[in-house]
Structure 1
C-alpha cells in the first residue's frame, strides 16, 4: 500500500528526530566521565550505621510503593480515557471554540487523574511527615499541588493547541510544522522556566554579602561561569532535603541555594555542592539537555503522528479533532514511561561528570563525601536501591557510587 503524504511526512520527521537525538547523545553526553572508569559503590556499612541504613530502606520501600502505585493508576486512567469511548464523549460535552475545548479537555483529564491518584499523594505525604522530611502543613501541601497541576495544564495545553492547530491548518504537512514548533517550545521553555515557573513555588532573596557569597562567586569565576546573582530559596518550608542549582542562560543565570544548605551545612560542604552545580553550567549541560530534549520532541511528534494516524483508521479521532486530546495524553504518558531509562541514563552520565569536575576543582574529597552522606541522610535515600528502580527512575548515581568516585580520584592524586 502506498503511504499517504501524512504518513511519509511523519516517517521523515520521526527519522530526523531520532537520528538527531542519537547524534547529539553521542557527541554531547560524557559516556566515560570518570578517569580510570566508574568504580562500583562502596559498602553501605562504610558510610552509614546499621540503624541509618534500616531507616532509609524502610522509608524508601514505602515511598516506592506509594509512588509506583500512583504511577500505575495514573497510567491506567490515561489509557482508559484515551483508548475507550469515554474520553471522546467527555470532550464532546465541552463547549467553545476548538482551542477552548482542547484546553478544557486537558484540564479535565489532568484533574480526573489527580483526583483518582490523590489518595496515594496523601499517603505519600503522611509518610514524608512521619519520617520528618518536611514541616510544611497540609494547606501548603495542597497549594503546591494545585500550583503543580496548574503549570501542567498550562504547558500541556499550549503543546496540544499547537499540535492540533497545525493539524487543522496543514492537513498533510502538519507533522513537520508541529515538530519544528515543538522543538522551539522546548528551547523557549528552558529560557522562561527560571523566571516564570520557579518563582511560583519558591521565594528568592539575594544571598547577603559575606564569606559564602564571596566564595561562591570566586568558585564561579574559577569555573569560568558568569553568574548574575546568588540567591537563596526558602525551600526549608517544604522539605528538609539539601540542594542547590544553577538556572537560567546568559543574563538570567544565577546560583540558587536552598536555605537549609546555607544554614545547616559547613561552608566547605556547601561549596562542594555549588561546585557540582557550576560544573553543569561550565559544560553547558542545560544546553545539552535542551538540544537533546528538542530532538526528542521532534521524534515524539513524528511517532505521535504515525500512531494517531494508524488509530484514526480504526475509529479513533483524527489529530485535527479536539476529541483526540485524551488519546494523545495516553500515548504521551506511555511514551514518557518507556523513554525514562534512556533519559535517566543520560542524566546519570551528566551528573557523574559534574561530580568529577567538582572534585577536581575543589580538591576536597572529604567535604564531597561528607555532603553526600548528609544529602542521603536528609532525604533518607535508599543506599542500595533495587536495580530496576535505579535503571528506570534513577536520574543521579547512587550516593555510594559518588563516594566511591571521590575516593578513587583522591587515591590517584587527582
Structure 2
C-alpha cells in the first residue's frame, strides 16, 4: 500500500479511537437543569451585579469577534498566497536558506505577524478589564506577562517546528507516521511538565500555611480518595481580582492550587465547594481523558495535514511544492486555524459535560448544596460573568455550564437528597 493509503487508514483508526474514548469517558446523558430553577436562581442574584457582568461581556464581545475574524484573515492571506512562503524564505536567507533555519525562524516570523496584528485587540481587552476593575495589573505588568507568553509560546513552537521539519526532511515519504507519533507524545509530555515548568512563569506558588483551611482541603481530598502532593496558593491578585481554584498535574505532580483572591473573598465552606469540584476532575481522571483525546486528536491532525496537503490547488495558491517543506509553513498554520474554528464548539460541548459531572461530584462530596449554589453565584459576580448568557454564544464558546444552570443543578440535587 502507498503511504497515502496508510495515512488514510491510520486517520480513520485514530478518529475511531478518539470516538471510543469520548464515548466511554465523557458523560453524555445528564439532563439540563430545569429552566424554572435557572430563572429562580437568577432572581437571587443582585440585579446591578448581573447588569454589570452583562455590560462587561458586551464590551468584550466586539473585540472577541474581530480577533477571530482578523486571525482567520491573516492566516488565510499568509497561507493561501505566496506571502507566507516569501516570509519563510526571507527568515532563512541569512543562514543560506538552510531548511532548519527556514523551519525555525520562518515559523517564528509567521507566528509573530499574527501576534503583532492581534496586539491592539489584546490591549483593547486589557483596557476593558482595567475599566471594569477585574484586572489589577498596570500596563507594565501586562506587558511583562505578554512577553512571557510570547517566550513560552516561542519555546514550545520551536520544539514543534524543529521536530516536525526534521522528520519531514529525513523521512519525506513517511513523515506523517513519525509526526503523528511525535505529536501524541508531546501532548502527553506537556500534561506532566506544564504544572511544574510553565505555570510558575506566570504565577508565584507558595505552600498554604498550616491551619484549618489547609487541613480541611487535604482531608477532603483524602475522603475523596484523591492523593495530592500539596496545597498551594497562587498570587493571582497581582493580576486579577477573579477567584478560582484548580487541581493540576497527574500522579506525582498533582496539587491543589487556590487563588489568593478566593481565600480573601470566600468563606472556607465555599472554598471547599470549589476544590471539591476540582477533585471531581481528578477522581474521574478528566486530565487523563483530555490528554488521551488531545494525543489522538494531534496524531489525527498530522495525518489529515498529510492528506489535505497533497491537494494541488492549495499548493499552487501557496506557491509551494509540498506541505512538508518549510516554505509551506504558513499554509499549514492556515489549515490549523480553519480546523480550530470547527473543532472549538465540539470541544466546548465536551467540556461542559465534563464540568457538569464535576459539579455533581462536588455536591455529593460536600453534601452542601446551599454553599455550592452560593459559590457559583460568587464566581459569576466576582469574575464578572454573565450568569445566563446568549444561547448561541454559550454553544460556541461556553466551556462550563452557565452559572444559573449550576445553581439550578444544586437545587435539583438538594430535592433528590432530602
Moved over 4 A (4+): none
Q: Which moved more, 1:149-158 or 1:265-274?
A: 149-158
- Displacement of 1:374 after TM fit? 0.7
The residue that corresponds to 2:298 in the other structure is: 297
Describe how 1:253-402 pairs up with structure 2 within 5 A: 253-311=254-312, 314=316, 315-402=319-406
Q: What CA deviation, in whole Å up to 9, does each residue of 1:80-134 have, x standing for no partner?
A: 1111111101111123332232221222122211211111111111111111101
The residue that corresponds to 2:117 in the other structure is: 116
The residue that corresponds to 2:12 in the other structure is: 15
Does the residue aligned with 2:119 lie in a helix, a strand or coil?
Answer: helix
- Displacement of 1:359 after TM fit? 0.3
Q: What CA deviation, in whole Å up to 9, does each residue of 1:153-175 have, x standing for no partner?
A: 22233223322222222222221
Q: Would the aligned equivalents of 1:344 and 1:395 in 2 still touch at CA under 8 Å?
A: yes
The residue that corresponds to 2:51 in the other structure is: 54
Count of matched residue positions in the alignment of Structure 1 and Structure 2: 409
The residue that corresponds to 1:156 in the other structure is: 157
Q: What CA deviation, in whole Å up to 9, does each residue of 1:331-364 have, x standing for no partner?
A: 1111111101111111111111000000011011
Describe how 1:163-202 pairs up with structure 2 within 5 A: 163-202=164-203
Q: Would the aligned equivalents of 1:245 and 1:257 in 2 still touch at CA under 8 Å?
A: yes
Q: Distance in 1 between matches of 2:401 and 2:104?
A: 38
Q: What CA deviation, in whole Å up to 9, does each residue of 1:27-62 have, x standing for no partner?
A: 11111246xx64336116423232222211111112
Does the residue aligned with 1:93 lie in a helix, a strand or coil?
Answer: helix
| TM-score (normalizing by structure 2) | 0.94
Q: Would the aligned equivalents of 1:33 and 1:356 in 2 still touch at CA under 8 Å?
A: no
- Displacement of 1:408 after TM fit? 0.1
Q: Distance in 1 between matches of 2:410 and 2:42?
A: 17
- Mapped pair 1:141 → 2:118: no
- Displacement of 1:64 after TM fit? 1.6
Does the residue aligned with 1:94 lie in a helix, a strand or coil?
Answer: helix
Does the residue aligned with 2:417 lie in a helix, a strand or coil?
Answer: coil
Q: What CA deviation, in whole Å up to 9, does each residue of 1:225-268 have, x standing for no partner?
A: 10110000001111111111111111111100001111221000
The residue that corresponds to 1:42 in the other structure is: 38
| TM-score (normalizing by structure 1) | 0.95
Q: Distance in 2 between matches of 1:26 and 1:94?
A: 45
Q: Distance in 1 between matches of 2:249 and 2:213?
A: 21
Gaps of at least 5 residues in structure 1 are none
Gaps of at least 5 residues in structure 2 are none
- Displacement of 1:68 after TM fit? 1.8
- Mapped pair 1:404 → 2:417: no
